Amino acid sequence: TVSEYEIETVDVVEDVAADEGPAPVVAVVGRPNVGKSTLVNRILGRREAVVEDVPGVTRDRVAYDAAWSGRRFTVVDTGGWLPDSVGLAAAIAEQARLAVDLADVVMFVVDATVGATDVDEAVVEILRRSGKPVVLVANKVDNAAVESDAALLWSLGIGEPHPVSALHGRGSGDLLDAVLAALPEQAPPETFDVETGGPRRIALLGRPNVGKSSLLNKVAGETRAVVDSVAGTTRDPVDELIDLGGRTWRFIDTAGIRRRHRENQGADFYATLRTRSALERAEVAVVLVDASEQLAEQDLRIISMVIESGRALVIAYNKWDLLDEERRLYLEREIDRQLHHARWAPRVNVSAKTGRHMDRFVPAIETALEGWNTRVPTSKLNQFFADLVSSHPHPVRGGKQPRVLFATQAGVRPPRFVLFTSGFLEEGYRRFIERRLREEFGFPGTPLDIAMKIRE
Ligand code: GDP
Ligand code: GDP
């Protein structure tokens, strides 16, 4: 048998460097007092259990990061949702339906010392109809003498009962092995080579004449470090590797920037096409804007393309040397208003001509890449939503009030969130959520992808 010490916890932020895709969700379902919370604490290990001791915290926090054998998953304790006023059977049925909706795997906990009750049978019916994988937990099997109690639960007809003592840890390793086996196939890792130490990929974007090739010459020339050119299919090098701020960066499609002047025909069309394909290969985009001119429709379109592509974004105001005091003051007042949909992007005011503030480029890019790669632990995220839902509930619509039940961060680059909700969240409320997420966790320089999973 497996001892209780074999269960380990992994803090996702520290220990899981690469993005493995969305963590699958494991929901724990069962009647009150069968040992669901004890089991969840057992799975999470001591660290989370300590947090549980804080009064008032437990109830709001329903989802937790967990890991077993190197596989990450989210455990959801559905017990916290039980409405007090409804009858027990109805409440449990409701809880089971919720769990089925949002979980990849359901852990159904039965008290083996009590045996299967009518309520348990009713839950089994719901679980069976859902077709979701179910792992049957026969809890409170504290010693070998009561193991036969567990075997009786075969009668429920949802497969093998796994005898466990959530209190003492007995059998919990085998149980987690069974949960892992029931999880969906792991998503293939992202294709980005960001964590392998390859050069970070920058797309330098902007409409004609904002100063892209001047800037490129400046950064490449000043550091005298055009390390290498990367051969493309044409005779021109497609990308350039440039040393900046102590590391090598890959500037995407510099050929396109340097060659632009030869492509006058249909320039707009090609520029859009090039921007799109550069973004596909980039991790971060630096959008260059001419500070001496009005912000153009085309500037905004390029910025929107970056946001839609999900890449990190830095906005650089170039030709700052041309600005007089009056224009500078005007810009300082106007920039936020003009770029309201990208307020979170780091901004630098530079001059490719004089070299002004070139040293601020790299820190801005690094900040954006960090925001792009930020992961918030599930427990923190759910504390955040618990607070948000109670302090700023969604407005009541048609007698209903949609709620965020819980949330997980499904990925990074850019950060992707999935909100499990009890109804449709209005556009305004979703924007409010994004704003509050940024206030709380930062996310400089990155778009956020926020998806909803609605329960009817
Ligand atoms: P929940 O209502 O399903 O979340 O159940 P709890 O986790 O709060 O547990 C209910 C009671 O059962 C508590 O007194 C636990 O200490 C006890 N309990 C939980 N798991 C076990 C177990 O494996 N063995 C024994 N003997 N008691 C347990
Ligand atoms: P691109 O089309 O975006 O590659 O822009 P270029 O680099 O070809 O620059 C367009 C024009 O702006 C050229 O005449 C540059 O000399 C000029 N230019 C670029 N950067 C600056 C700058 O920081 N200050 C000033 N005064 N002129 C600049």
Tell me which ligand sits closest to the C-alpha of residue 167. 1
156-199, pLDDT tens digit by residue? 999 999 999 999 989 999 999 999 999 987 755 444 444 455 78
Give the DSSP H or E segment for 73.
strand 71-77
pLDDT per position as a tens digit, 201-232:
999 999 888 999 889 888 876 543 343 444 44
DSSP string, 2-41: --GGG-----HHHH--S--SSPPEEEEE--TTSSHHHHHH
Residues 6+ apart with CB under 8 A from 167: 35, 38, 140, 142
Does the Cβ of 272 fall within 6 Å of ligand 2?
no
- Quote the percentage of the chain above a pLDDT of 70: 79
CA–centroid distance, 232 to ligand 2, in Å, is 26
pLDDT at residue 298 is higher than 70: yes
Across 66-80, average pLDDT = 79
Work out the average pLDDT over 319-343.
90
Choose the residue to mutate in 58, 167, 172 for probing ligand 1, maximizing ligand atoms within 8 Å of C-beta.
167
What integer pLDDT is reported at residue 237 of this predicted model?
A: 46
Please check the confidence at residue 234 and state whether its pLDDT lies above 90: no
Q: Would the CB of 414 count as within 6 Å of ligand 1? A: no
**Ligand 2 contacts CB of residue 351 (under 6 A):** yes
End-to-end CA distance of the chain: 43
Q: Find all residues with CB under 8 Å of 416, minimum gap 6, and list them.
A: 22, 409, 410, 448, 449, 450, 451
Segment 296-304 mean pLDDT: 93
- Kindly provide the ipTM of the predicted complex, given to two decimals: 0.64
Q: Helix, strand or coil for residue 70?
A: coil
Alpha-carbon dihedral sign for residues 258, 264, 267, 270: negative
Lookup: tokens for 205:
């974007």
170 alpha-carbon distance from chain centroid? 34
Q: Which ligand neighbours the alpha carbon of 209 most closely? A: 2
- 376, 74 Cβ separation under 8 angstroms: no
The pair of structure tokens assigned to 328 is: 């500078």
Give, for 362, the enclosing helix (H) or strand (E): helix 361-372
Bigger pLDDT: 99 vs 38? 38
Burial degree of 165 (CB within 10 A; 0-12, 13-18, 19+): buried
Pairing of strands 200-205, 247-252: parallel
Closest C-alpha to 187, from 374, 446, 449, 410: 410
Instruction: Give CA angle at 416 (412, 417), nearest 5°.
Output: 135
Residue nearest ligand 2's atom 18 by CA: 211
What is the number of the ligand closest to the CA of 164?
1
- 3-state SS, residue 416: strand
pLDDT of residue 350: 95
Residue count of the chain, please give it. 456
pLDDT of 437-446, one tens digit each?
999 999 999 9
The span from the CA of 309 to the CA of 446, in Å, is 11
Q: Are 11 and 72 in contact (CB under 8 A)?
A: no
* Helix runs in 54-190, H state only: 88-102, 118-130, 147-151, 172-182
Where residue 15 falls among pLDDT bands split at 50, 70, 90?
A: very low
State residue 101's pLDDT score: 76
Write down the residue that tokens 């895709």 correspond to.
Answer: 21
397 secondary structure, DSSP code: B
Q: 37 CA distance to ligand 1 centroid (A)?
A: 7
Measured by CA distance, the residue closest to atom 25 of ligand 2 is: 319
| 69, pLDDT greater than 50 | yes
- 256 CB near ligand 2 (under 6 Å): no
Which residues, 6+ apart, have CB-to-CB distance to 306 below 8 Å? 205, 279, 285, 287, 313, 447
Q: Find tokens 């559905």 and name the residue.
A: 78
- Name the token pair of 123: 């839950």
Taking the centre of ligand 1 as the mean of its atom positions, its distance from the CA of residue 166, in whole angstroms, is: 7
State which of 214, 254, 353, 361 you would mutate to test the pocket of ligand 2, scoring each by most atoms of that ligand within 8 A of its C-beta.
214
CA of 450 to the centre of ligand 1 (A): 36
> Which pLDDT score is estimated for 321?
95
Candidates 222, 261, 258; CA nearest to 240 is 258
Token readout for 208 is 């004609």
Is the Cβ atom of 38 under 6 angstroms away from ligand 1? yes
pLDDT tens for 358-391 read 889 899 999 999 999 999 988 899 899 999 999 9
